[in-house]
Structure 1
Amino acid sequence: MSTPQSSGKSSGMFSPMTMLVLVLVGVISFTGLAVLSAYAPELRKGDDGGGHALSRSSVGFGALSRLLSLMGEPVLTSRGDLPTSAEEGLLVLTPSAGMSPVPLERNDHIGPTLIVLPKWMSTPHPKHRGWVTTLGGNEAGQALSVLPAALRKDLKLNEAGGRRTIRLRRPNGEAFGAPVTIQASRTLTGPGWTPVLLDQNGATVLAMHGDSWTYVLADPDYLDTQGLKTAEGALTAVAMLNLIRDEGSPVVFDVTLHGFKRTRSLMRLILEPPLVGATLVAAALALLAGAQAFARFGPPLRSRRAVALGKAALADNTAGLVRLARREHRMAPLYARLIQASAARAIGAPRGLDELELEAFLDRVSRIVGATHTYSALAERARAASPSDLMAVARDLHTWKQELIRGRQ
């Protein structure tokens, strides 16, 4: 019992072009997702209201970084290792209260370091993204806890209540900057510190620890966005940074303390020099292999029986045996005689004719009906046929037979 096969061309649910478009969209989407995931830390704006150089809130330092850039000063927001050009620049650390002590040992930095002590406790604004609402100042112990133990030993942080206008000066009495208004201004006292800037009362606002190039600013309102809301505050902030850095050296704002550190990953490694060339070559090879596979393979073939059944299988097996014996050319004269007998029966040729008489009769009929060939010519071709001529001879014999039958009818 044979299994019935469906006739006609098999049709799939989607066309090849639709499948190609879906594959391309999937590949492009996956590639975009992988690249965005690899560079996600760099793509974060960081405008979360924190006390760092990416924040534009009142307690952030984004305004100072923007001001220096507009003035043409070299500014760098560091998310990881420093480049060689910034090793001798001024490194500005702006830790928040509650953080671990800031690390001062950095192999990639040999220039001065400025630590800005935290002052304000704040909460995100409910209606404006990036804004904050200040809840008051933190305690002196919390502010000093961000310093390493060696720096905060015997160091005290003093606070003056109310809103005051501060006039900074150098230890030699020379006026510095412009008068600025500070809410609850803070100052430092402690042994082992060298005053760099004082207020009008002689209290230390900016100090350097010993002979190290480590500076501590007692009050962040001299540098944060809140302090730069006036021209006097901006002038004083820029003058303060120029005082403790070499002329022309960059100002580096470190934001790794606030979770914006650039992390190393395998995906970033293959997308950056020197491995990006190998990545592009691999992608091109994959694209070419996919194009070749799509162009080479068509619709899937129908599954066939391991052992064929019916007349077709018998004919295939017989043809295989003849081909194996290399006797294909010997079959042409026999096939011509088979076509001759079939055509004679179909047109009603007289019986009792010998081979030559039957051949002459078929030639006369061929000329009468206007056939393309005569049988005698086709028989001669069959007797002289080579293996490469078999298909042409067989096709012409079949055509000749059909022409005789139609002409006779």
Structure 2
Amino acid sequence: MSAAIPPTERRVSARVGAISESATLAVDAKAKALKAAGRPVIGFGAGEPDFPTPGYIVEAASDACHNPKYHRYTPAGGLPELKAAIVAKTLRDSGYEIEPAQVLVTNGGKQAIYEAFAAILDPGDEVIVPAPYWTTYPESIRLAGGVPVEIVADETTGYRVSVEQLEAARTERTKVVLFVSPSNPTGAVYSREDTEAVGRWAVEHGLWVLTDEIYEHLVYGDAEFTSLPAVVPELRDKCVVVNGVAKTYAMTGWRVGWVIGPKDVVKAATNLQSHATSNVANVSQAAALAALTGGLEAVAEMRTAFDRRRGTIVRMLNEIDGVVCPEPEGAFYVYPSVKALLGKEIRGKRPESSVDLATLILEEAEVAVVPGEAFGTPGYLRLSYALGDEDLVEGVARLQKLLAEARD
């Protein structure tokens, strides 16, 4: 056993050194680099709509650029008019009535998640994290001093965890449960009844809930989005909601998210942000204001396209022997099981993990996918269907051709 490194010789802090790179961004960066080098790579890695930001939002940002009031510092917690718009939007879309003092505007959803956990958690506090999970959740928890406790759901339950699983994971150190519906990476959507059951279980045990609603408008078929604090009002004093404009309005690069929660928690998170980044870029806030006060026609068009692509990718993936792909009900991802392909020979190689398989797929088929290890569940791949129809069909056709070669 090696001796501990003296602090004077440690170049990177243990806390930050333990953070893993975002796997989804890493896959996307590699795909883009290969494309830039002339390789015909098709990327299923990034979780962002392939549509441009709607024109009226871009015009609002352009106008803001020429307005001197946006050339200066503004309140660290967000422009008052944007916070008011978030209040109105939350009531409209979720049936959840809040006040501006319960809102913090952040630099995207990731900052919202970290600052929410940082405001709630003390060192050693446990957070129950259903897996498969988005890569940022456990890292944000650890950075905030908390301990992620993973519970796993698989394709047999539609990637939804039960109250019984939550209860089995609860200890005297449990403080928060993470609840995400619709889900990244699986597209799972909890019913109203299941959502309410989770909320009432949390209330019964005095737990906090952090719920991520970023994909609220991207649900398909008979599935319906349900906002947890709206259906379990008793939870509101211990519930934090994170959201943003990235997915609904194709604004991933604009970096505007928000935290909704009890006033004392939001105030604490705002204090943290005041020292970390100050206010979110004013031009981006002006764009977000236009998005939230405009209509939802653009998202309706995107949802129609995503729904069409959802059907295509699920059908094509399920045509591959050894791949089992449940139909997602929300977001824009599929999360197929590839366990039956592991250990089989494909072009002279035997991938033993989904990381190995994803590497083989990139090298041999020039298709970028994200392995399940990034989401806490080896044996799966995540593919985003937020890309053009032609690229989607071509990319999955390449997978079909390559994986058809699998042999024992």
Structure 2 length-normalised TM = 0.23
- Max Rg structure: 1
Relative contact order: is structure 1 or structure 2 higher (C-alpha 8 Å, sep ≥ 6)? 2
Structure 1 length-normalised TM = 0.23
